[in-house]
Chains A and B, each alone.
Chain A
Amino acid sequence: MIFPTPEEYTVLFLSLKVGLLCVVVSLPFAVLLGWVLARKNFRGKLILDGLCHLPLVLPPVVVGYLLLLLLGRRGFLGQILSDWFGMQIAFTWRGAVLAAAVVGFPLMLRAVRLAIESVDPRLERAARTLGANPLRAFFSITLRLATPGVLVGSLLAFARSLGEFGATITFVSNIAGETRTLPLAIFTYINQPDGEAAAARLVLLSIILSLGALIASEAIARKMKN
């Protein structure tokens, strides 16, 4: 009774896949935008900042619906992707990754930006005078010193993706084996007359997963400090 069924394992692995890919996809953008927002001053910075934070305050269902409008079969981008590359985003696991990434992005960006802001910009300038080109100086000094913050941001985005419900179900629906992640599966099981045991097992898995991620990130952060 305690051990999950193969079906539930599928749910677990899908959730892990979506969570990890969501972090991998968001990270480059979060670092780039985090750096821009931390170090650059330009017109429209406030608007860019606002846009980046929008998914944090919008109801997830709205985010999912907007994604559907943009990337659905009739959507502007969805059509291009489908016609040119034969790629389908809506109603696939890729769409689940995208939904989780969009919703989790503000959390990651915020952590990365704060981490970069806390690094003395003069260190990077010192690196330049020592012969490092701008990219090298950024990666070997600023990003390296901001790594604990980047990890925290990644963890937040990962945790947020594990809990993502509204945007996912709106954008990619609740398709078993394709887009049914942990929250969607739990929601499905508790709506079934005999699904309570399965729901309980998945709840337990969620707790273990979230706790494991927290402990892992704390351990990494501690190791970085020493």
Chain B
Amino acid sequence: MLTLCVHRQLAEFTLEIDVTCAYPVTAIFGPSGCGKTTLLNLISGLMRPDSGQISIDDTILFHAEKGIDLPPEKRRIGHVFQDDLLFPHLTVRQNLLYGYQFLAPSKRKFHPDAIIDLLELNTLLDRLPNLLSGGERQRVALGRAILTSPRLLIMDEPLTALDQELKDRIMPYLRHIRTDLGIPMLYVSHAIGEILQLTGQVIVLNRGQVLAHGDFFSIAHQPKILPLLETHGFENVLPVEVIASNRVQYNNQILHIPPCDRRSGTHIFIGIRANDIILSRQRPAGLSIRNALSGRILDIVETHGRRLVYIDVGKRLAAEVTPEAIEELALKIGDSVICLIKTHAIRIGPDVS
């Protein structure tokens, strides 16, 4: 369990964090420049808080009043940086063993061979980092951090520099680390889709402050959180059950989805963008749209010049509608509406874990 209570003055704002991360994987979500990287540097000891304390389980890493400030090399925090920061003059094998060699044998929890297998690095061991692809480099960085048997693995947007295809290929390794190695993780990202593949526990950070902390689905629709998610390409995310290769079930309503290879009975997330949802008063006839979810309007708000209508369909959905449409349909809070969604506007997300 990571306990953070830190205060640090930055150029643009003050970082003030007071949270406890009790879950194996906690994600920190926030726009760029919100203080995420600083927070990780405070945890790994690369920066010093102005005041406060940081502890993991019963080990105090930093305590301003007691004058405790463990240097980075004594903290045993595996820090995976956004740029992998592999040592360019060392081979993959030497990079992997760099931290491992400093560790007393009794503290070594993982065997290098096991981690090399897990991350499929066997064929790369004698290469220098400049001959690796982006995804390979990030896997080596990951292995290097894991082999120090860290108390906590902190990852600073490890996938941001990679393209989507590579992200999809690295994600299973991260899930392996979470599930098989049992290292607690703090995962920083500004991509909700990425986070939800690892955990539902999210800390939302903006300008150095914790806006919310908890289960993503229970905090995502808070008025101060949603605009933040919205401006970062947030999609409505629904947990659904696959019932056929192109159909899922959500709260007794059937949705048609693009063909996918998940087995029936699997629980997955699907994503729908707010501006891909059409609102209608009645269930329409003679339309090609296959998906119609009925619900009740919870709220109509304006954020960043966009009108968003929140509809309770079991979970809350956000739909973006023009002011004219709201007027023409005379949409009010409490009204029943039908949400129409094109099949191909639905994105297949990760498994519900």
Residues of chain A having any CB pair with chain B under 8 Å: 120, 122-123, 125-134, 136-137, 140-141, 144-145
Q: Are B99 and A131 in contact (CB under 8 A)?
A: yes
Contact of A131 with B81 at beta-carbon distance under 8 Å, contacts A123-B87, A145-B88, A145-B89 already known: no
| The 7 A-B residue pairs with the shortest CB-CB distance in the complex, in nearest-first order | A130-B99, A131-B102, A128-B72, A129-B79, A126-B85, A131-B99, A131-B73
Chain B residues 34-89 with CB under 8 Å of chain A are 44-46, 71-73, 75-79, 81, 83, 85, 87-89
Which B-chain residue is minimally distant from A120 (CB atoms)? Answer: B85
Q: Are B102 and A130 in contact (CB under 8 A)?
A: yes
Query: How far, in whole Å, are A156 and B28 apart by their CA atoms in the complex?
Result: 51
Q: Are A129 and B103 in contact (CB under 8 A)?
A: no
Contacts of A134 in B (CB 8 A): 71
Query: How far, in whole Å, are A131 and B45 apart by their CA atoms in the complex?
Result: 12
A211 → chain B closest CB, angstroms: 29
Count of B residues near A, CB < 8 Å?
Answer: 24
Please tell me if B217 contacts chain A, counting CB pairs below 8 Å. Answer: no
Q: Are B144 and A130 in contact (CB under 8 A)?
A: yes
Q: Are A131 and B103 in contact (CB under 8 A)?
A: yes
Q: Are B73 and A133 in contact (CB under 8 A)?
A: yes
Query: How far, in whole Å, are A65 and B99 apart by their CA atoms in the complex?
Result: 51
Instruction: Convert B112-149 into 0s and 1s, putting 1 for each residue whose CB lies closer than 8 angstroms to a CB of A.
Output: 00000000000000000000000000000000110010
Please tell me if B98 contacts chain A, counting CB pairs below 8 Å. Answer: yes
Q: Are A125 and B87 in contact (CB under 8 A)?
A: no
Q: Among the listed B46, B71, B145, which residue makes an inter-chain contact with A130, where contact means beta carbons less than 8 Å apart?
A: B145
Contact of A130 with B88 at beta-carbon distance under 8 Å, contacts A122-B81, A125-B46 already known: no
Contacts of B72 in A (CB 8 A): 125, 128-129
Q: Are A132 and B102 in contact (CB under 8 A)?
A: yes
Contacts of B148 in A (CB 8 A): 130-131
Q: Which of B87, B102, B145 is the most central at the interface, judged by chain A CB atoms within 10 Å of its CB?
A: B87
Query: How far, in whole Å, are A133 and B87 apart by their CA atoms in the complex?
Result: 16
Q: List 7 A-B contacts (CB under 8 A).
A: A122-B83, A130-B144, A131-B76, A131-B148, A133-B71, A134-B71, A136-B102
B81 → chain A closest CB, angstroms: 6
Contact of A129 with B102 at beta-carbon distance under 8 Å, contacts A123-B87, A145-B88 already known: no
Contact of A141 with B87 at beta-carbon distance under 8 Å, contacts A125-B72, A130-B148 already known: yes
Query: How far, in whole Å, are A126 and B72 apart by their CA atoms in the complex?
Result: 9
Query: How far, in whole Å, are A131 and B103 apart by their CA atoms in the complex?
Result: 8
